[in-house]
Structure 1
Amino acid sequence: MVAQITEGVKVSVETTYQPEYSNPANEHYMFAYKIQIENLTDYSVQLLRRHWTIFDSNGTKREVEGEGVVGLQPIITPGQHHEYVSGCNLKTDMGTMKGTYQMKRLVDGEIFDVSIPQFALIAPFKLN
């Protein structure tokens, strides 16, 4: 697991390879990732947008951007967290992802970015 704190918001990431949804013969490798966003501040924050940069080990780079996460723009109160699971497909058996969440402090409307730490997506057979 990797984690990073930005502006009092902690983002933790765990990944798992999904062999049942992968097809290596067709260069299709599926990974799931679980994100926990924890509010360590004294004020409520809302996640507005996400921006991902995804790298395959063959040098391909993709960017994904959009509102919220898995259809939600959660409000996270002080001391609470929001968790979700999503997925990413790669054309290679390993790669990385990193990104940012655009957040809003509800007390004053201040918009700020929270870093999503870079994490590896590696098929287990690659480690042998």
Structure 2
Amino acid sequence: MARLIRNGAIVEDHGPEVLDLEQWLAAKDRGSRAVVLEPGESLAPLIEHIEEIPLVLVNFPTFMDGRGFSYGRELRERGYSGELRAVGHFMRDQLTYLSRCGFNAFQFEDESQLEAALESLADFSEYYQASVDQPLPLFRRRAADN
């Protein structure tokens, strides 16, 4: 059984069956299956079913492909509340940014990196910019405290 980071803890993956976008759209029982998004695929078909998707996996074919960050942000901004998992070739250094875009699960190809990767989620204690996980920039949060 594969291990991954989910909601700040290392866990075994007991997730639903994973289908590619075309298979998922053709399936009759979508609510019990996960969908994997590849770079370049449109999110539009998922939006009308956003409340019934238990898990969305976003594939990063290379660590330099940033389209998955946009998928995560857009899904969260459109109301997706299920598990959003990064899979493929992303780096430990990108975890903070992925989580700021809405990802709450990370599946590394090399599970030996999980312990160190989990620690890297706490690399930063404060953020200046607004994001999915913190909609107000720091200067607005400071102004609200005064």
Larger strand share, 1 or 2:
1
Larger helix share, 1 or 2:
2
**Pair in the same fold by TM > 0.5:** no
TM category, shorter:
under 0.3
Per the normalisation by structure 1, the TM-score is 0.26
Per the normalisation by structure 2, the TM-score is 0.24
> Larger relative CO (CA 8 A, sep 6+): 1 or 2?
1
